[in-house]
Structure 1
Amino acid sequence: MSLRRESHQQIPARTVRTARAACPRGTPAMLIRDRLDVLFEDEDFADLFPADGRPGLSPGQLAMVSVLQFAENLSDRAAADAVRTRIDIKYALGLELEDPGFDYSVLSEFRARLAEDGAADRLLQLMLTRLTEAGLLKAGGRQRTDATHVLAAVRQLSRLELAGESIRAALEELAVADGDWLLALIEPDWDKRYGRKVEIGKVPGGKAGVTALAETFGRDGQKILAAAWAPDAPPRLRQLPQVEILRQVWVHQYYWDPRGRLRWRDGHALPPASLRFDSPYDTDAHFCVKRDTTWSGYRAHFTETCTPGLPEVVVHVATTIAPVQDGELTERIHDDLAGQQLAPAEHVVDSAYVTVAKIERARRVHGIDLLGPIASDRSRQATSASGFDRSAFTVDWDKQQVTCPQGAVSLLWRPQRIGGHDCVQVRFGKATCRACPVRAQCTTSATRPRTLALLPTRELHEIQARNRLDQQTRDWRQRYAIRAGIEATLSQNIRNCGLRRSRYRGLARTHVQHVLTAMACNLTRIADWIADPAPTGRRPTHFHALCAGTA
């Protein structure tokens, strides 16, 4: 299907008159069209369509419909019906009143194109470019980031159910691809075991019963895999997606013991959650635990502006598998924003995104002040507040020496790697420490001297010391208070657009959902800003107003 470029700069006169009569105050779709004109042009999507073939629908219009669909949390069918029946959407798209619209299936096909080669991110960049041209978005200023968990659009399975369901999915695919070949493998009880959705409750016999059932699944799955990889088997069968998924599940969940028997893995022998998936129908969905929350799916990271005098706009969206920690996204977010010329002057985040090294890199590479609480000193002396913690020692980086509160100078200064991190190990003299009159406030060891682990460079050490002091001040807490606003943005998108649950399967399609959700949030906020640019405060309760009047 090729691209047929169309221009929708001019709204038909009859559509304008009818829309103005029906909606004299305007709707979000109409306000956006009036302020930003055509948000998406067909030329912006030229590389997503081949040069030949039957002309398709306008991708610029489909993009706008997709954003409006998410803004109102509509299904594909309801969104297509809205294009046919609603005057304000015809006004936003520049359509004639008699325009019949399109079939709802076109929207899913358009999202599939957006899932290829980062096209969804480019769609968000187009919106941000239009907002920048309209003076509603500027580089610099302040931004804030946070993440939320996203449930996959598949049933959450136990390990036993995953093994059984993987066999069932492979059998279904093999039955379609070559039923005659599969018929020779089928055992009498397979129809009862795998003929329907595998659901396993409490297994009789406790742990032994679970292991027995798992090894039954293991033998059945291994029989299918061995037959598919036999020399006389059709090669195309081993290339079927569900057969390959079955092979991967067996690598994750089973092993061969020294006697050559297939065994069910114990929990400690499992691969990490970032490598093994939880459903044969979505291999991008991974299990994760964060404090009291457990889920199988993804994480969505939203970054929005919070500069006074301008609307709050989502400028960056990242979707990852669930086990990826928030701090792994910090540098990527900064690099992406800098590439769009939208890097902030100050980036406010929670502690998961912050380390001393990330603060240093953000300032050095992009000139960004990364604001967030770094980890406090968890040593015994610092937590008990009754001894000499690291801040009580004076560090001389030029001489590579440390002076303790009693004036003793360290004897050892040695670069070292502890727990996968580079550091500098400092050690004081054993005789000096044992003779110290305040030794009990410095170390609990009866014989060993006091040691310190410093960050590997002076700059990192100074950033850590300065930030730990700043975090205790009222001014810092007032600056950091703005971060809480991102929670409202996540809540808005969870309630209005269903951000917490993926509509689609796979990381790429889920990311398209998150980008469209962010753009829908932007559209709603920009429309509200256009209608009333003055920021509104929270309306007080009647009781609060009564108390204030009395005071």
Structure 2
Amino acid sequence: MPVTLLVMLSGVLTVGPSDGSLEECGDGLGSWGVGAVSLRPRSVQRIPVRTVRTARAACPKGTPAMLIRDRLDVLFEDDEFVGLYPSDGKPGLSPGRPALVSVLQFAENLSDRAAADAVRTRIDWKYALGLELEDPGFDHSVLCEFRARLAGRDGAADWLLQLMLDRLVEAGLLKSGGRQRTDATHVLAAVRTLSRLELVGETLRAALEELAEADPAWLTPLIEPEWAKRYGRRVEIGRLPGGKTAVTARAEEFGRDGQKVLTAAWAAHTPPRLRLLPQMEILRQVWAHHYYWDVDGLLRWRDGHALPPASLRFDSPDDTDAHYCVKRDTAWSGYRTYLTETCDEERPEVVVHVATTISTVQDIELTDTIHDQLAERQLLPAEHVVDSGYISPARIERAQRVHGITLLGPVVADHSSQAKAGAGFGKAAFAIDWDNERAVCPRGATSVSWTELRMKGNTYLQARFAEADCRPCPDRTKCTSSASRPRSIAVLPRPLHQIQTRNRLAQQTEQWQRSYAIRAGIEATLSQTVRAHGLRRSRYRGLARTHVQHVLTAMACNVARIADWIDTAPRPRRRATHFRTLCSDTA
């Protein structure tokens, strides 16, 4: 992003002397939004001579950090971070350092303290950062403060990824066009898994804790003698003797206590600021989700089947962005992350787009968003390979019309009973006369009505046949299982119907299968980010901070892959085991 645009976003930039000195942020660390530190850009174009000599002597073959520095030079310039820092305040640490350190940290799955120690002690990291051998590094809290800045500014994490992608484009390792593929994986939230009973208890405990800190004098008259034992420590409830009846009784006990606090908080004489406390709002919503008032005016515990959708409910008062979801055999509470990478043979496979959503978002909702954001970055593919969860005739049509992308993936097959059985007259057996708005059945009968209807968010055209034609038809049992109603079919509008029909036929061919086989490679990327970079479990709470983790993880994956691409030295083949050698000799 140009510096002028960043200045427009943040105000006037105060530039001090570029002496390369290291100044800690003091009490400004971790206080995003207070404006405690300002930016003083420094140049790290040249690596100190002693650092180069020592690094080359210690690591003659290079390390990923050194190879990246050699090929891409300076990955992050200070001037590019103007929008993240205020124009006044105590001078802060050069932001290019924590940016690169954060990427290297996730590349090796290190904690903040371990990453800060690596800056002080590892020669290859000093080489990548352009530091003197005597440089003392910085306190580990700088990394936390830097991530908070990324999370606090909408789009800042994606912009950091864009900086890396711009360097790759300049180095000839990335270009638009070509092929890309996308897939998602689940991410576990950094919170304890709670039952519904533990959730309401923990929610009330968190609200009481916040009230005790905000206004203890107001809360004291409300406290009952049993509350110290009930909410004085973390609520942990195992199996209750008495089964479902005991659970309901305990839940309604929590409900009455919470309602007492809510009623007092919304009383006329209560200071309004108490109602605005975050945990008080969470308490109000959780009580609305899990309780109801019966006809006698009593607060009752909701049955599990009467709860709001999972996308609206909270799973923990500590992270309200984490939601429960089930996909096939996997159940989790947390998020989903979507990774899009290039897959051209002549260049390294690079992650070019990262999206983080709540767990209940469906894959197909992200297809258009990914294309639009790749267009903004000028990194659109010529062909985008996805699985059936991301594709529909409407998505195929839009991708081609708006962005010129060929969206490749299996269109969902016809789910009619005839198509599943492989016998009888499925939808494909009917001829559609679009000009006259009618359908013709295999026996030659013509539909008598043509109406538009909405199903599952899509527009369909329904053709219905006359009962006089269907009832005496000798093939009625092959056409419909209904004994009283005539046959009807619903088709998509003409352009989408033609796309659907064409793709269903094409995906049965061997050529299409070979072209689509490249999609399986994204599974390796998901495995790498999970196993090598710790993607499966979120380190932080909240959607914004979790997205920062996912972007840094994707950038770390890019570092590892680019280093492997640059390091062209042949790798020794794995030696076969004695048993395998014996089997080969006897074959």
- TM-score band, normalised by shorter chain: over 0.9
Matched with 1:22 is 58
User: What amino acid sits opposite 2:425 in the alignment?
Assistant: F
1:157-306 aligned at under 5 Å gives the runs 157-306=194-343
User: What amino acid sits opposite 1:32 in the alignment?
Assistant: I
What is the distance in 2 between the residues matched to 1:360 and 1:545?
Answer: 54
1:279-358 aligned at under 5 Å gives the runs 279-358=316-395
What is the distance in 1 between the residues matched to 2:339 and 2:325?
Answer: 19
> 1:429 and 2:466 equivalent?
yes
- Alpha-carbon shift at residue 546 of structure 1 (Å): 7.9
Matched with 1:411 is 448
- Alpha-carbon shift at residue 497 of structure 1 (Å): 1.2
Matched with 1:494 is 530
Question: Which stretch of the first structure deviates more once superposed, 170-179 or 274-283?
Answer: 170-179
1:70-81 aligned at under 5 Å gives the runs 70-81=106-117
Question: Which stretch of the first structure deviates more once superposed, 20-29 or 233-242?
Answer: 233-242
The alignment partner of 1:201 has SS state of coil
User: What amino acid sits opposite 2:280 in the alignment?
Assistant: V
Matched with 2:95 is 59
The 1:454/1:550 distance shift into structure 2, 3 A limit, reads farther
The alignment partner of 2:489 has SS state of strand
1:528-539 aligned at under 5 Å gives the runs 528-532=564-568
| Pick aligned residue for 1:114 from 118, 140, 150 | 150
What is the distance in 1 between the residues matched to 2:245 and 2:553?
Answer: 47
Question: Which stretch of the first structure deviates more once superposed, 540-549 or 63-72?
Answer: 540-549
Residues 179-224 of structure 1, C-alpha deviations (whole Å, 9 max, x = no match): 2222211111111111111011112222111111111000101111
Matched with 1:149 is 186
- Alpha-carbon shift at residue 519 of structure 1 (Å): 0.1
Question: Which stretch of the first structure deviates more once superposed, 10-19 or 511-520?
Answer: 10-19
1:430-469 aligned at under 5 Å gives the runs 430-455=467-492, 457-469=493-505
Residues 274-330 of structure 1, C-alpha deviations (whole Å, 9 max, x = no match): 111111111111111111111111001111110111100000000001111111111
The 1:550/1:465 distance shift into structure 2, 3 A limit, reads farther
Q: Which runs of 5+ in 1 are unaligned?
A: none
The 1:541/1:413 distance shift into structure 2, 3 A limit, reads farther
The 1:47/1:142 distance shift into structure 2, 3 A limit, reads same
What is the distance in 2 between the residues matched to 1:171 and 1:61?
Answer: 41
- Alpha-carbon shift at residue 416 of structure 1 (Å): 1.8
| Pick aligned residue for 1:126 from 163, 181, 192 | 163
What is the distance in 2 between the residues matched to 1:421 and 1:546?
Answer: 61
The alignment partner of 2:91 has SS state of coil
What is the distance in 1 between the residues matched to 2:276 and 2:500?
Answer: 53
User: What amino acid sits opposite 2:392 in the alignment?
Assistant: T
TM-score, with normalisation over the residues of structure 2? 0.91
What is the distance in 2 between the residues matched to 1:221 and 1:165?
Answer: 11
| Pick aligned residue for 1:37 from 73, 79, 86 | 73
User: What amino acid sits opposite 2:344 in the alignment?
Assistant: T
What is the distance in 2 between the residues matched to 1:539 and 1:450?
Answer: 63
Matched with 2:402 is 365
User: What amino acid sits opposite 1:23 in the alignment?
Assistant: C
User: What amino acid sits opposite 1:453 in the alignment?
Assistant: A
Question: Which stretch of the first structure deviates more once superposed, 468-477 or 413-422?
Answer: 413-422
The alignment partner of 2:336 has SS state of strand
The alignment partner of 2:280 has SS state of helix
The alignment partner of 2:187 has SS state of strand
Residues 132-164 of structure 1, C-alpha deviations (whole Å, 9 max, x = no match): 111000111111111111010010111110100
| Pick aligned residue for 1:399 from 432, 436, 460 | 436
User: What amino acid sits opposite 2:541 in the alignment?
Assistant: R
> 1:475 and 2:511 equivalent?
yes
User: What amino acid sits opposite 1:287 in the alignment?
Assistant: Y
- Alpha-carbon shift at residue 373 of structure 1 (Å): 1.2
The 1:539/1:19 distance shift into structure 2, 3 A limit, reads closer
TM-score, with normalisation over the residues of structure 1? 0.96
Question: Which stretch of the first structure deviates more once superposed, 328-337 or 265-274?
Answer: 265-274
What is the distance in 2 between the residues matched to 1:355 and 1:99?
Answer: 55
User: What amino acid sits opposite 2:41 in the alignment?
Assistant: R
User: What amino acid sits opposite 1:16 in the alignment?
Assistant: V
User: What amino acid sits opposite 1:44 in the alignment?
Assistant: E
Residues 354-401 of structure 1, C-alpha deviations (whole Å, 9 max, x = no match): 111111111111111111111111111111111111111111211212
Residues 461-518 of structure 1, C-alpha deviations (whole Å, 9 max, x = no match): 0111111111211111111111111111111111111101000000000000000000
What is the distance in 2 between the residues matched to 1:369 and 1:216?
Answer: 58
- Percent identical among aligned pairs is 72
After superposing on structure 2, the runs of 4+ consecutive aligned residues of structure 1 that deviate more than 3 Å are 536-551
Q: Which runs of 5+ in 2 are unaligned?
A: 1-36
What is the distance in 2 between the residues matched to 1:365 and 1:550?
Answer: 60
> 1:103 and 2:130 equivalent?
no
The 1:410/1:537 distance shift into structure 2, 3 A limit, reads farther
- Alpha-carbon shift at residue 259 of structure 1 (Å): 2.1
The alignment partner of 1:184 has SS state of helix
User: What amino acid sits opposite 2:386 in the alignment?
Assistant: V
What is the distance in 2 between the residues matched to 1:544 and 1:374?
Answer: 43
> 1:485 and 2:521 equivalent?
yes
What is the distance in 1 between the residues matched to 2:205 and 2:495?
Answer: 58
Residues 444-466 of structure 1, C-alpha deviations (whole Å, 9 max, x = no match): 233432211111x2110011111
> 1:523 and 2:551 equivalent?
no
The alignment partner of 2:321 has SS state of coil
> 1:135 and 2:172 equivalent?
yes
The alignment partner of 2:374 has SS state of helix
| Pick aligned residue for 1:10 from 46, 50, 56 | 46
User: What amino acid sits opposite 1:469 in the alignment?
Assistant: L
The alignment partner of 1:204 has SS state of coil
What is the distance in 2 between the residues matched to 1:378 and 1:404?
Answer: 19
What is the distance in 1 between the residues matched to 2:400 and 2:582?
Answer: 48
User: What amino acid sits opposite 1:282 in the alignment?
Assistant: D
What is the distance in 1 between the residues matched to 2:126 and 2:276?
Answer: 47
The size of the alignment, in residue pairs, is 549
What is the distance in 2 between the residues matched to 1:490 and 1:540?
Answer: 28
Residues 409-466 of structure 1, C-alpha deviations (whole Å, 9 max, x = no match): 22221112234432111112222222323222212233432211111x2110011111
- Alpha-carbon shift at residue 240 of structure 1 (Å): 1.6
What is the distance in 1 between the residues matched to 2:363 and 2:481?
Answer: 36
What is the distance in 1 between the residues matched to 2:188 and 2:231?
Answer: 26
